[in-house]
Amino acid sequence: MIRQKYKTLVTIKFWVALFFGFIISIVLIQPLAISLFMYDNAGGLLSWWNTFRIAFQQIVEMGDSEQILKNFLFGLMGVSITIMYYIGLYMSKESDDILKKAS
């Protein structure tokens, strides 16, 4: 019974969404967070766009194991956001089905 309920979550679209969540969080969210942190620490002396470019270069280079770990953890954050979104869609669909049956 439980397998049938959550079978809709395990589809190719779901795995593609997880992959894109992983990539987007590494490419967009991580440099954004790091650049805002760097900009705040500099006291506004640097332009934000330059700090964003520096942060993006650090992420792409992956020079050490610490950066690889950071990329992986930010990727997991993107995956968890994607899973929460899909669970919200599934719960919304379930509640709509229950309301239709009650009417």
Residue 35 gets the label, from left (phi > 0), alpha (psi -120 to 50) or beta, of alpha
Query: pLDDT (tens digit, 0 to 9) for every residue of the chain, 103 residues total?
Result: 556 656 666 677 788 888 999 999 988 999 999 889 888 888 877 788 888 888 888 888 877 888 888 889 989 999 999 888 888 887 787 777 676 777 6
DSSP 11: S
> Are 35 and 52 contacting, i.e. CB atoms less than 8 angstroms apart?
yes
pLDDT at residue number 76 = 93
Closest CA to 78 of 13, 21, 16: 21
